[in-house]
Structure 1
Amino acid sequence: MDSTITFLEKRLKDPLPGIASHKRFMHPGRSMDIPADLRSSAVLILLYPHENEIYFPLILRPKYDGKHGGQMALPGGKTEPSDENVIRTALREAQEEIGIRAMDVQILGQLTEVYIPISNYVVYPVIGFMDYTPQFYPDAREVDKIYTPKLTDLKGETVHRTITIGNQEVDVPGFEIQDTWVWGATALMLGELSDILWP
C-alpha cells in the first residue's frame, strides 16, 4: 500500500498521459476547443487506507435542474477569490462536501486539467492521501450519497452505455463502480489516474 502511494507521488512529477488518456472516455463529438473566458474549479481524489487496501470517495450529486444534477462526481467545486490556488479549492470543497479534515491531507500531485463544455469550467484534479480511514459527513445540499470504491476498481474494463445528450442518443464510455456508472469528466480524470498506475 505504501509502495503504491510512493510510486504515484513520484509518477505525478513526470509528464502525464493527459489527452491520450482522456480520449478513451470522451463521447463522440465532444469539443476539444477551450475558450479564453472559462471558469476555474478543482476536485479532490482522496486516497486513504482501509483493510490493507487503498480507497477513495465518490459522491452522487442530488437531482436538481442544473447541468450536473444526479451525476457521480468527485468532491470539489468552483474556485473562490479567497483560494490562493486550486489545491486550496479542492481541499476546501472536499471539507465542505464530505466533512474531511483538510489539514490531514497530504498532497501527492495533480492530474491534467479537464475542460467541461456544458458548464464552461476547467477542472483541476488534485490527488491527496490521508494515512487513516476518515469518517465522512456529507453535506445534504451537495451530496446525496457517498461511494467508497477501491483504487483497484479503476483497473476494470471501459463500459459503454447509451445516454441522451441534448436531443441525441450517444454511446458514452465510463467505469462501472459499486453498482453505479461513472462517466464524463469524472471518468476522464479517473481514467488518467488508472493509466498512470497501470500503464
Structure 2
Amino acid sequence: MRKSIDHFRAALAQTGVGSSDFDLNPDTVLPAGRVLRPAGVLAPIVETDQGLGLLLTKRSAALKHHPGQISFPGGKQEESDADVIAAALREAHEEIGLPPECVEVLGTLPRHETVTSFDITPVIGLVIKPFDIRPEPGEVDEVFTVPLDHILNPDNYQIQSRRWRGQMRHYFVVPYGPYYIWGATARMLRAWTEIIQK
C-alpha cells in the first residue's frame, strides 16, 4: 500500500491544469465579472480487504441543490478555515464523521470551476485511523466505497449528455454498480487519472 501512496503523493506534487464544468462544452458563455467562491472537497482513501478504496457520498434527496447526486464530502471555505484544505477536512468531519486527525493529506488536484461559481480544490487524503462513519442527517443519505483501481482507470469513463437550460451539455461519467458518478465529481476524478498516468 505504501508504494501506491508514495506514487499518489509524487503525482499530486506535479503542476496540473485546472478543470471545469465547461471542459466538454467550449461554447459556454460565462457571465462577465463572475465571482468564484473558494471551496474544498476531500477524496478520502481507505484500505479495504479488496485493496485501496475511495469514500464518496450520496447527497440527500431532500436537498435543494444537487439532490441524490454522488459527491465528495466538502463545501465552501468559511472565514474560520485557514485554507481550502482545512475547509475540506472540516466538512468531511461534519458530513461523514471523519475526524481531521485521522487524515494524512497527500496533496491536492488542480482547482475545478463549477457552473454554480465555486472554485473547488480537491484534497486527496489517506485515512490512517479507523473511524465510525456517521452520515449527517438531512444532507447525506449514504457513504460508500469505490475501488481506487476503478476510479483511476481512464477506460471506465464515458462522456454523456443531457439538455440543461435549453442547451445540450456534455459531461464525464464513471459508473460503479448502482452508483451513477457524473458531473463535477466525475470530472475531478478524471483529472486525477490524467495526473496518475503521467
Aligned length: 196
The answer to whether the 8 A contact 1:92-1:102 is kept is yes
Q: Is residue 2:178 matched to residue 1:179?
A: yes
Structure 2 match to 1:58: 56
Q: Which of the numbers 76, 79, 84 marks the counterpart of 2:77?
A: 79
Structure 2 match to 1:152: 149
- Structure 2 distance, partners of 1:29, 1:46, is 34
Change in CA separation of 1:171 and 1:13 when aligned onto 2, cut-off 3 Å: closer
CA deviation map 1:15-65 (0-9, x unaligned): 22544xx68973564457885522111100011211151111111111246
- Structure 2 distance, partners of 1:79, 1:149, is 26
Structure 1 match to 2:187: 188
Higher mean C-alpha deviation, range 164-173 or range 125-134: 164-173
After TM superposition, the structure 1 = structure 2 runs for residues 108-127 of structure 1, keeping only pairs within 5 Å, are: 108-117=106-115, 119-127=116-124
- Structure 1 distance, partners of 2:135, 2:179, is 19
The answer to whether the 8 A contact 1:42-1:87 is kept is yes
- Structure 2 distance, partners of 1:8, 1:2, is 10
Q: Is residue 2:94 matched to residue 1:67?
A: no
Change in CA separation of 1:188 and 1:4 when aligned onto 2, cut-off 3 Å: same
Higher mean C-alpha deviation, range 50-59 or range 128-137: 128-137
Structure 2 match to 1:198: 197
- Structure 1 distance, partners of 2:66, 2:22, is 21
SS at match of 2:110: coil
Using the TM superposition, give the Cα deviation of residue 85 of structure 1 relative to its aligned residue in structure 2, in angstroms: 0.7
- Structure 1 distance, partners of 2:35, 2:147, is 37
Using the TM superposition, give the Cα deviation of residue 134 of structure 1 relative to its aligned residue in structure 2, in angstroms: 4.0
The answer to whether the 8 A contact 2:44-2:124 is kept is yes
Structure 2: unaligned runs, 5 residues or longer: none
**Given residue 95 of structure 1, which amino acid in structure 2 is its aligned partner?**
H
The answer to whether the 8 A contact 2:39-2:75 is kept is yes
After TM superposition, the structure 1 = structure 2 runs for residues 4-43 of structure 1, keeping only pairs within 5 Å, are: 4-19=4-19, 26-27=24-25, 29-30=27-28, 35=33, 37-43=35-41
Q: Percent identity?
A: 28
**Given residue 10 of structure 1, which amino acid in structure 2 is its aligned partner?**
A
Please report the TM-score for the alignment, with normalisation by the length of structure 2: 0.87
- Structure 2 distance, partners of 1:65, 1:141, is 8
- Structure 1 distance, partners of 2:98, 2:34, is 34
- Structure 2 distance, partners of 1:9, 1:36, is 33
Change in CA separation of 1:29 and 1:184 when aligned onto 2, cut-off 3 Å: farther
Change in CA separation of 1:172 and 1:85 when aligned onto 2, cut-off 3 Å: closer
